Amino acid sequence: MRVFVTRPIPEPGLAKLREAGHDVRVAPQDRKLDRAALLEGLAGAEAAITMLDDRIDAEAFDAGRGLRVVTNFAVGYNNIDVAAATARRIAVGNTPGVLTDATADLAWALLLAAARRLGEGEALVRAGQWEGWGPLQLLGWQVAGKTLGIVGAGRIGRAVARRGKGFDMRVLYYGRRDCPEIERETGARRVTLDELLAETDFLSLNCPLTPETHHLIGAPQLAAMKPTAILVNTARGPVVDEEALVEALKTGRIAAAGLDVYEKEPVVHPGLMDLKNVVLLPHVGSGTTETRAVMSVMCADNILAVFEKRQPPSVLNPEVL
């Protein structure tokens, strides 16, 4: 079978597909594939491994008439029209579980970097402008003992919360339903979004992007947060109204933010670029060598299972199998 991969990914999954006798065709350029090349690559393929910034919609599925399975090299799948896939009896897979720790670690890296002003400190030292220790220099915010607010108590939200226990934090969460695991693991309490915003010192966004979570955090929500609060987003950019966030950071409505994701990636709002109280990373939540290798294998396993009529490790529309 032909498997089209829209961008180079770590070798282990590709090797597994080749060893199983499949014809693996990887787009050669390490950048987002343009639309025409994407549609051309999908044509003639029985399976595809797609990236989170490839728009896989009805047009894409129609271009790939022979597709049996598409698996995203990501846990998030807001770039894929799963209903359009289901209508064409194409299975859609993703990579949950294997990137939980990497992404939770990165959320914490952002949280600590924003709280302790790591970017500003590093820039000062690198610029050769540091004149020595100062009692008022680059004062940040204490993390230990504060309140950690989690939006979305899925795997990653829970892992972020568990790390908070190591910092003696009180954990609150907001989600669509009760999550007994996060409550058991961290003593977290489920609250309304209003309560979460009012009580949280560090707000970590860990929900998927859906029509319900689009701009979940906008001007009214930012206004409801503490002026000392810090926002961390490792989920998807459009969960936050970036325009409103720029205003809140500029006017001191909230203290700081740590962002790994943006509304219009790879474009970053120019207002964010100008601010010192925001840490900006280039969507590297799952970006460890180990995790990306395992994601590659999970994509391969999703595809092999569909080809071999077995249950894939992660399929979003099992009804087509």
Binding residue for ligand DGY (CB under 6 A) from 82, 99, 182, 256? 99
Q: Is 298 in the site for ligand DGY (CB under 6 A)?
A: no
Interaction between residue 239 and ligand DGY (CB under 6 A): no
Binding flag, residue 74, ligand DGY (CB under 6 A): yes
Provide the minimum distance between the beta carbon of 233 and ligand DGY in the complex, in angstroms, as a whole number: 11
* Preceding omega of 266 cis (within 30 degrees of 0): yes
d(CA 96, CA 136): 44
Using CB under 6 A, which of the segments 6-14, 71-79, 107-115, 264-272 binds ligand DGY?
A: 71-79
Task: Tell me if residue 3 falls in helix, strand or coil.
Answer: strand
Nearer to ligand DGY by Cβ, of 12 and 97: the residue is 97
Strand partners, 149: 172, 203
Give dist(CA 94, CA 71) in Å, integer: 5
Residue among 219, 201, 119, 210 nearest 164 (CA):
201
Give the full edge-to-edge strand order of the sheet including 170-174: 189-190, 170-174, 147-151, 202-205, 230-233, 256-259, 278-280
| Residue 52 binds ligand DGY, judged by CB under 6 A | yes
Helices (H), the chain: 11-19, 35-42, 58-63, 82-87, 100-115, 118-126, 155-165, 180-186, 193-199, 219-223, 242-250, 270-273, 289-307
Residue 89 is among the residues annotated as catalytic for this protein = no
Q: Which stretch binds ligand DGY (CB under 6 A): 72-80, 114-122, 221-229, 239-247?
A: 72-80
Measured distance CA(112)–CA(27) in Å, rounded? 37
With respect to ligand DGY, which residue has the nearer C-beta, 230 or 281?
281
9 lies in the binding site for ligand DGY (CB under 6 A): no
The residue annotated as part of the active site, out of 117, 236, 269, 292, is 236
Tell me which stretch binds ligand DGY (CB under 6 A): 57-65, 70-78, 198-206, 212-220. 70-78
CB closer to ligand DGY, 286 vs 296? 286
Per CB under 6 A, 76 contacts ligand DGY = yes
> Which residues sit at the interface with ligand DGY, rule CB under 6 A?
52, 74-76, 99, 283, 285-286
The residues annotated with a catalytic role in the active site are 236, 265, 283
